[in-house]
Amino acid sequence: MLTARRRRRVMAAAAAVVSTTLLLASCGDSDSGSGGDGKTLKLWHYESPDSAMAVAWNAAIKEFEKTHPGVKVKFEEKGFEQIQKTAPMVLNSNDAPDLMEYNKGNATAGHLSQQGLLTDLSAEVTKHGWDKKLSAGVRTTSQYDAKGVMGSGKWFGVPNYAEYTMVFYNKDLFKKYDIAEPKTFDELTAAMDTFVAKGITPLANGGAEYVAHQYLYQLALSKADRAWVDSYQLYKGKPDFHDAAWTYAAETFADWVKKGYIGKRTTSAKAEDAGVSFMRGKSPILFSGSWWFGRFAAENKFDWGTFLWPDSNLTLGSGGNLWVVPKGAKNKELAYDFIDITMSKKIQNLLGNKGGVPVAADPAAITDPRSKGLIANFNTLSERDGLAFYPDWPAPGFYDVLVSETQKLMTGSAKPDAYLDAVKAAYDKGVQDR
Amino acid sequence: MTFTVDERGGRRSAVVEARHQSKGTKNNRPPRDSYALFLLPGALAFLVIVVVPFLMNTGVSFTEWQGVGSPKWTGLANYRELMDDAEFWASFRHSLFMVVSMAVVPTVLGLVLAAALFDFVGKHFGSRIAAVLRACFYLPQVLPIAVAGIVWSWILAPENGSLNELLKAVGLGGLQQDWLGDPDLALYSVMGVMVWVQLGFPLVIFMAGLQRVDPQLYEAAELDGAGWWRRFWHVTLPQIRPEIYVVLLWCTIAALKVFGAVYVLTKGGPGGATDVPSYFSFTTFFEKTQVGYGAAISTVLTVIVLLLAVVGLKLQTRAEDAEQGVVR
């Protein structure tokens, strides 16, 4: 039987061992990234199973296993939020996959590249010719400099689809109220006036998520140019949040809420609510991204179409999420082979026909008329260098600020000037913390 | 100094008591010594799961860190920044509202309901009906908060939400609101949901407490002409005071830590109107990747909860000791 004193000593020693082990484990270095068995490719992505990307990538998995006999793809479906919140910790551990989908942008892929958690893919990009397949606008989010700023430097990711925003409109409702497809911004405004007069809120919106502040950013983009975007997104100069573009955007957006183009009661609505509102024929217009396209094609019970935001050279959009190879990946060669398959014509054409925006498809192989239009509009944007990324990209946590401040603008608890002040303060702090 | 009152009414110092116990010979060891070994697994688990991470989190709170790479030691800078952070203080103000909706209101309502179910429903309609009603009130406690939150977000939705539709149906369309989207209403809406979620807990505890109240006390009070309200005030309340302490303490801590409901219902919005410290810490930590600052927020929150728990337990112990005649 132990004496009380000895027991206390034993317990103290046990506690010390446990806590020291924990502390050491938490401070441990990640795997060097070699030593894989070459028989398993551990793959993570977070696309919903029925999306164009998931369909294409599932086909790529089959193709990969066919061309790599004896190699198994161990696919783990993840959630967007899950990856968003835990990627830095996971990639810093021994549990990192060989290949994963990750968000593009300074605050995400840029941040991880800066921390040395991602593999430099530059040599592979040249070797496989992936750079030749990506247009300048799409390529921007693949390269990051030493500070983790996109647009130049080493390749840390490869996108194999693109995304951009557009106006989705309900052709049946437009026809019912005798409104032609708007070709100019004035015509779009006139169309919205007509709907309001008929007691219909024209724009589907979700104030609790990205939809609202993307309307606002698009309004700013319609008065902006590439230098403005570079200043805001790539830190090439100091953005002026009270310039003509931002002021016009904030004032117009607040005005649209007052006029009833945007429902004041959509302040707490989520992006899903905005999409559903459009799909149910409640709101005739939704300005949002190509990620809705496949779902609308599958679920809309009315005739619908899309057009680019009128009288604007720039719109929100970029290369899609990236394939990244974690620094600690154990089977990097297999990961490169898989990326190459996803960039092949066969997989790219499939992605295009399923409602995605492929980056290297054969235009002749896209048979669906709506998908043809989607890709044609993207090509138009690419040719005029019109992809202006997303407003929340410049700094980590900026998304929440934009959501919160735009909600205040919608409810009238902040005036446009105060809105711009708040956005500027958050931007300056976020960029300074980078 | 602690004194125990023995049966003869004499007081004996706890120190003297302890000395007597420690003089036990090897063969006559007091049994409580051997219990320490049984506590070891639990103590180790507590150390690994609670103490060590808390100490690590506290360590991180003195750094500037983005979650990966090397933390930069900044001393008390995060805490100084917290003191001047209007958002942080606003989130704490919202926490006080949460204390009202998760501790004060459910405790008061729970007391009245428990007494009514026990005293009135149980007697007039049978204990089975009372048990069914109790289970109904307790159901929200069993539901995962994510599920309850989603259901409530449907109910409170401005367009086609059940509540607004109900108001319209009964001719009160003018009262329709954007319950979660109006900054003047959102916090009260979340509070309403939290009352619904929390009410079952005090009710069940109080009903259990009422089981052990001697019925003769009620009978005596009734014979003396006390009505239901006076019996409730002079018999029920004093008799279940320990349960009230436990419920208030437990619910207040739960209110300070509330996260899930805010995350599901409003994400702290609109415009930060429903932000609470735990959610503020979460977004700072994960969204803004200001890990050091987020850790400082959660450290402050933990310290406040601990202080509250210690004070609450001390008050409870003091009250119980007073009842049992133990002097400290």
Q: Write the pLDDT tens digit of every residue in B183-195.
A: 899 999 999 999 9
pLDDT tens for B201-253 read 999 999 999 988 898 998 999 899 988 889 888 998 998 988 998 899 999 99
The alpha carbon dihedral of B250, B252, B256, B262 has a sign of positive
What per-residue confidence (pLDDT) applies to B30? 55
How confident is the model over A171-194, as pLDDT tens digits? Answer: 999 999 999 999 999 999 999 999
* Interface with A, mutate which of B48, B177, B182, B288 (most A CBs under 10 A): B288
Q: Considering only alpha carbons, which residue of chain B is nearest residue A20? A: B52
Residue A313 pLDDT class (50, 70, 90 cuts): very high
User: Which of B47, B66, B157 is closest, CB to CB, to A18?
Assistant: B47
Report the percentage of chain B scoring pLDDT > 90.
55
Is the distance from CB of B135 to CB of B317 less than 8 angstroms?
no
> Is there a cis peptide before residue A416, judged by omega within 30 degrees of 0?
no
Q: Which residue has the higher pLDDT, B271 or A20?
A: B271
Task: State whether A208 and B289 contact (CB < 8 Å).
Answer: no
pLDDT of B124: 82
Average pLDDT over residues B105-110: 95
Kindly determine whether residue A430 and residue B288, on different chains, have CB atoms separated by under 8 Å.
yes
Chain B neighbors of A15, CB-CB under 8 A: 44, 47
Residue A359's alpha-carbon distances to A80, A352, A376, B43, B74, in angstroms, are 22, 9, 12, 57, 45
pLDDT (average), residues B55-84: 92
Q: How far apart are CA B315 and CA B277, in angstroms?
A: 26
Q: What is the mean pLDDT of residues B301-311?
A: 90
Give mean pLDDT, residues A372-390: 90
CA dist., res. B7 & res. A363, Å (int): 97
Using alpha carbons, select from B189, B193, B194 the residue that is nearest to residue B102: B194
Q: Which of A92, A107, A208 minimises the CB distance to B68?
A: A92
Which strand (E) or helix (H) includes residue A123? helix A122-128
Please, what's the b/e burial string for B301-314 (b: 16 or more CB within 10 A of its CB; e: otherwise)? bbeebeeeeeebee
Chain B interface includes A34 (CB < 8 A):
no
Measured between CA atoms, the residue of chain A closest to residue B37 is A7
Whole-number average pLDDT of chain B: 86
Task: Please tell me which of the candidates A18, A408, A413 has its beta carbon nearest to residue B44.
Answer: A18
Residue B320 or residue B41, greater confidence: B41
pLDDT (tens digit per residue) in A386-430: 999 999 988 878 888 999 999 999 999 899 999 999 999 999 988
Residue B66: pLDDT above 50? yes
The Cα B250–Cα B36 span in angstroms is 27
More confident residue, A132 or B320: A132
A57-80 per-position pLDDT tens digit: 999 999 999 999 999 999 988 887
Interface with B, mutate which of A24, A267, A270 (most B CBs under 10 A) = A267
B97-107 pLDDT, tens per residue?
999 999 999 99
The CA distance from A203 to A193, in Å, is 11
More confident call, A23 vs B179 = B179
CA distances from B144 to A149, B103, B140, B261, B264 (A): 41, 19, 8, 10, 11
Position A219 scores a pLDDT of 98
CA dist., res. A103 & res. A390, Å (int): 12
Pick B181 or B320 by higher pLDDT. B181
Q: Are B158 and A269 an interchain contact pair (Cβ–Cβ within 8 Å)? A: yes
Q: Buried b / exposed e across B201-239, counting CB within 10 Å, b at 16+? A: bbbbbbbebbeeeeeeebeebeeeebeeeebbeebbeeb
Q: Which pLDDT score, from 0 to 100, does residue A322 have?
A: 95
pLDDT beyond 70 at A18: no
Per DSSP bridges, beta strands A317-319 and A304-307 are unpaired
Of B51, B271, B289, the CB nearest to A408: B271
Contact (CB<8Å) B283/A397: yes
Residue of A nearest to B271 (CA): A404
Going by pLDDT thresholds of 50, 70 and 90, the confidence category of residue B123 is confident
- Candidates A18, A26, A116; nearest CB to B56: A26
Locate A362 and state its tokens: 């054969």
CB atoms inside a 10 Å sphere around CB A425? 13
Per the model's pLDDT, the better-predicted residue between A205 and B2 turns out to be A205
Q: For residue B326, is pLDDT > 80? A: no
At residue B12 the predicted structure's pLDDT band, cuts being 50, 70 and 90, is very low
Chain A positions in Cβ-Cβ contact with residue B268 (cut-off 8 Å): 400, 404
Summarize the confidence of residues A224-246 as an average pLDDT. 95
- Looking at per-residue pLDDT, the higher value among A64 and B182 belongs to A64
CB pair distance less than 8 Å for A266 and B52: no
CB A75 within 8 A of CB A13: no
Fold of B79-320: MetI-like fold (1.10.3720)
Rounded to the nearest 10 degrees, what angle do helices A210-221 and A271-279 cross at? 80
**What confidence tier does A434 reach under pLDDT thresholds 50, 70, 90?**
low
